[in-house]
A = this chain, B = another copy of it.
């Protein structure tokens, strides 16, 4: 017996319609909205303990997930906190994964936009239910402190995922699925055609994850592609497999329960150096690629994966122009936190602080360049003075390369604040470093003019705020940026900076002195990246991010 709700997707459509509608409203108004509570206190009783146990249950074992054409296992992760992980993952066969992905797509296409969106929301709900275990997985791969791993790897990533689903759904449903077209013909009867418009997927989508934000940076592309009818291959960073393995496994469960082929999503784990991402990226079956990582590989993808729509987030030079402030302490504390959070290992962390060499006006008084940078160093010291608190902000260093960059930065100018090592009270094996601030001159563009990923800030002495804005325009115009920020009490300066930001295409924050940081972008309201500068060719999430992931094929008949 078949009833209207016998189709699992139908039940999901009805269950998740209110969520989807709220999300659709939020992406229009850009007002505050969050579907998934960011507070750990909102977790159900026992969830934290259960999540920890779930995480620990993976350690030292093969991870339970099926992949097409399984061909051995890979085990590539080490925790930045020194915890042994020793998790192994089945290695998918490239050809088998592509074939399975293609075979899975037809029924998914035929299910229609609403069913696909509802299934995606159900997946995200399941991910939310597993937030704690994913948080531990993010913590022990990215090196984020637990609190940050919980928020950024959990609810914030889930909100970004829902946002991508909402955009995809809005785009797929922006016109009627069928139309009766009646063209008047004067005295003769009208010409009548019945038309149907079918959303068809582009093909197989490839998501290439990064080490620092395995879920946050992967979910938008993953869900945008899946919701628009494509099958997705998820290629995690070899050092951050677990968060995506859990996510893919959850998605496969939901797809199967809803009557779809779980091979609509496949984990493609690899040994470092196998270059499976590059191999897959050039396969004709792969029509969409989402990548977060180095500019070198991102640009290689853009240049070479010609058969695919390529969405990249790469490196940039995030910049703060400091002109004047009427809340000196607020400014110093805000910038100090931005530099410290996750050891500056956020793609949105500021790097260049452009400050007039003759100082700034702060709370009505002059502060020299040296005073201001010393005060900023003091604010960082104060923030990170207590070791227990410091490690909850800093987390752990994700790779040796970061330490190398800290050391090298000290040779590039005058060290205003040296980086120091912090002992982690709970994880003696963790490498924890505080940020360094290095003063350089505007002329030393080779020092501050490109990304130095990690906890390195350059305090750049400029001739004037005007020169600061010119330098911002020049450096970001060439190298790109994900964030920019300005401090000024002068509306003309703010306007000039807004104009420069529009010209070089970077999102701007003005006079942040409270609980919002330039590093942060809020789902449903802030666009992450713009697609208008060298740091990223796409924004999370806008119409351009989803519109190219499907096509519309019409059929028409006489009515």
Q: Are A508 and B179 in contact (CB under 8 A)?
A: no
Say whether A263 faces chain B, with CB atoms less than 8 Å apart.
no
B510 and A556 contact, CB distance less than 8 A: yes
Most buried by B among A171, A174, A544: A544
What 1/0 flags go to A522-534 for Cβ under 8 Å of B?
A: 1001110011100
Q: Which of A197-205, A212-220, A403-411 forms contacts with chain B?
A: A197-205
Chain B residues whose CB sits within 8 angstroms of the CB of A171 once the complex forms = 543
Q: How far is the CB of A33 from chain B (nearest CB, A)?
A: 9
Q: How near does chain B come to A27, taking the closest CB pair, in angstroms? A: 6
Q: Are A553 and B525 in contact (CB under 8 A)?
A: no
The interface bits of chain A over 294-308 (1 if a CB of B lies within 8 angstroms of the residue's CB, else 0) are: 000000001100100
B interface footprint on A180-206 (CB within 8 Å = 1, 0 otherwise) = 111111000001010101101010000
A446 to B31, CA, bound (A): 59
Is there contact, CB below 8 Å, between B191 and A556? Answer: no
CB distance from A240 to the nearest CB of B (A): 28
A511 contacts the other chain (Cβ, under 8 Å)?
Answer: yes
A287: nearest chain-B partner, CB-CB: B532
Chain B residues in 8 Å Cβ range of A399:
none
Is A512 located at the chain interface by the 8 A CB criterion? Answer: yes
Let me know if A275 is at the binding interface, CB within 8 A: no
Interface-located stretch among A87-95, A153-161, A431-439, A498-506? A498-506
Q: Is A30 an interface residue (CB 8 A)?
A: yes
CB-nearest residue of chain B relative to A109? B502
Asked if A548 is at the interface of the complex by the 8 Å CB criterion, the answer is: yes
A511–B558 Cα distance when bound, in Å, is: 7
Chain A 27-67, CB-CB to B under 8 Å as 1, else 0, gives 11111100000000000000000000000000000000000
| Number of identical monomers bound together in the oligomeric complex | 2
Chain B residues within 8 Å of A515, by CB = 185, 191
A547 touches B (CB below 8 Å): yes
Contact A179 B553 (CB under 8 A): no
Q: In this assembly, does A3 line the interface, its C-beta being within 8 Å of a C-beta of chain B? A: no
Which residues from B are CB-within-8-Å of A302?
Answer: 306
* Least distance between A220 CB and chain B CB atoms (Å): 15
Asked if A502 and B200 sit within 8 Å, CB to CB, the answer is yes
The answer to whether B181 touches A525, judged by C-beta atoms less than 8 angstroms apart, is yes
> A263 to nearest B CB, angstroms?
18
**Set of chain B residues within 8 Å of A7, measured between Cβ atoms:** none
The CA of A428 and the CA of B525, in the complex, are separated in Å by 66
Are B543 and A200 interface neighbours, CB within 8 A? no
Contacts of A544 in B (CB 8 A): 547-548, 551
Chain B residues with CB under 8 A of A28: 174-176
CA distance A548 to B547 in the complex (A): 9
Cα separation A303 to B543 with both chains bound (whole Å): 24
A389 interface contact, C-beta 8 A: no
A422 to B100, CA, bound (A): 56
Complex contact B29–A179 (CB within 8 A): yes
Smallest CB-CB separation from A194: which chain B residue?
A: B510
A555 interface residue (CB < 8 Å to B): yes
Instruction: Choose from B31, B539, B556 the contact partner of A181 (Cβ within 8 Å).
Output: B31
How close is A51's CB to chain B, nearest CB, in angstroms?
23
Q: How far is the CA of A507 from the CA of B195 in the complex (A)?
A: 11
Chain B nearest CB, measured from A540 CB (Å): 12
A441 close to chain B: CB less than 8 A: no
Q: Inside 8 A of A109's CB, which chain B residues have their CB?
A: 502
A382 at the interface (CB under 8 A from B): no
A278 at the interface (CB under 8 A from B): no
B551 touches A31 (CB 8 A): no
B543–A530 contact, CB under 8 A? no
Residue of B nearest to A497 (CB): B555
A195→B526 contact, CB < 8 A: yes
A509 interfacial by beta-carbon distance below 8 Å: yes
Given the known A-B contacts A181-B525, A191-B515, A553-B501, are A175 and B506 also in contact in the complex, defined by CB atoms under 8 Å? no
Report the separation of the CA atoms of residues A530 and B551 in the bound assembly, to the nearest whole angstrom: 6
Contacts A30-B197, A558-B511 given; does A551 touch B505 at CB 8 Å: yes
A532 touching B551 by the CB < 8 A rule? yes
A552, B180: Cα distance in complex, Å:
35
Within A7-32, the residues touching B (CB, 8 Å) are 27-32
Q: Which 5 A-B residue pairs are closest in the complex by CB-CB distance? A: A30-B179, A532-B551, A544-B547, A543-B547, A510-B557
Q: List 14 A-B contacts (CB under 8 A).
A: A27-B174, A29-B179, A30-B175, A31-B180, A32-B182, A181-B522, A200-B532, A202-B532, A302-B306, A501-B553, A506-B553, A509-B555, A512-B558, A548-B548
A interface residue numbers (CB < 8 A to B):
27-32, 109, 170-171, 174-176, 179-185, 191, 193, 195, 197-198, 200, 202, 302-303, 306, 498, 501-503, 505-516, 522, 525-527, 530-532, 539, 542-544, 547-548, 551-558
Known: A510-B555, A513-B558, A543-B547. 15 other contacts (CB 8 A): A30-B179, A32-B181, A170-B174, A200-B502, A200-B505, A501-B553, A507-B555, A508-B553, A509-B555, A510-B556, A510-B557, A526-B556, A530-B551, A530-B553, A548-B548
